[in-house]
Amino acid sequence: MGVNLAGRSFLSLFDFTAEEIRYLLRLSHELKGLRRAGVRRRLLEGRHVVLIFEKTSTRTRCAFEVAAADEGAHVTFLTNSQLGKKESLEDTARVLGRFYDGIGFRGYAQETVEALARYSGVPVWNGLTDECHPTQALADVMTIEEYVRKPLSQVKLVFVGDARNNVARSLLVISAKLGMHFVAVCPPALSPDAEFLARAEEVARGTGARIEITDDLDGVEGADALYTDVWVSMGEEEKLEERIRLLEPYRVDMALIARTGNPEVLFLHCLPSFHDTNTEMGRLVYERFGIKEMEVSDEVFRSRHSVVFEEAENRLHTIKAVMLATLGAV
């Protein structure tokens, strides 16, 4: 039998088999091709989707809204609800499940998105929590498939920086699920927690994936893709000075690109990126610490190695795939 994800929520990549993840990736590539060919099938005509975002967003919100609109669905972006104020999460979820066919959530606690799924009775999609960012990881692997001409089981993906954050965790899980070679190059203080790592390693033993955690920059050698993320996630701004001290040696610059030994190595980043001083945060860091570039140099960000904007576009196609599959439209 083929893969059937109808009625499922998309909360964590741990919840999906390798076959199911590969199905979503294949569907994403197909949907990208159709959109670029100008084909609109409107498979969600008459459906309604609500988005609840506790955290600010550019790519995730736009990807959900455009994906839904492409397929004919109506979207409500809910910003002024009584959720958690005058109405409990459970009660709100039960109401929304009667109005909407699916719910997108972006926020802090993983428990919140899980409760929405438990009580709403409709598919719920995790657009980011403090624990994981599964739609981002799908887009990242989709991008790797487009540019690296080898099976995923032969791909080495190296994350450089804060390996405890939601993006790094989701990349580790999807690598384990798909049999990839994943390396986190990070300071020991910012390594994945032991319980999470043990769970991912158990998955890896069943798929042949390799997982390595190291503070040695030589860990980038042989990488097919180098990935980094911001040094301070939303809600951690007070830790900026500490993170700069820990992570400045791990900035992705052209010297680190060269250290991979792979002239075709990809550079990936989930965005936004502080690669210059053209943002409020970038200017603040420069004024306080004299640093013009944070997690990645401007040279790398704009180089031929960088596929960050293709990666950003792929958020749209992977989110569309998740919505269509879980709503039973494909």
Q: Which residues are catalytic?
A: 106, 133, 136, 229, 270, 315
Place of tokens 């089981």: 153
**SS3 letters across the chain:** CCCCCCCCCECCHHHCCHHHHHHHHHHHHHHHHHHHCCCCCCCCCCCEEEEEECCCCCHHHHHHHHHHHHCCCEEEEECCCCECCCECHHHHHHHHHHHCCEEEEECCCHHHHHHHHHHHCCCEEECCCCCCCHHHHHHHHHHHHHHCCCCHHHCEEEEECCCCCHHHHHHHHHHHHHCCEEEEECCHHHCCCHHHHHHHHHHHHHHCCEEEEECCHHHHCCCCEEEECCCCCCCCHHHHHHHHHHHHHHCECHHHHHHCCCCCCEEEECCCCCCCCCCHHHHHHHHHHCCCCCCECHHHHCCCCECHHHHHHHHHHHHHHHHHHHCCCC
Closest C-alpha among 227, 316, 213 to residue 270 = 227
- Burial degree of 286 (CB within 10 A; 0-12, 13-18, 19+): middle
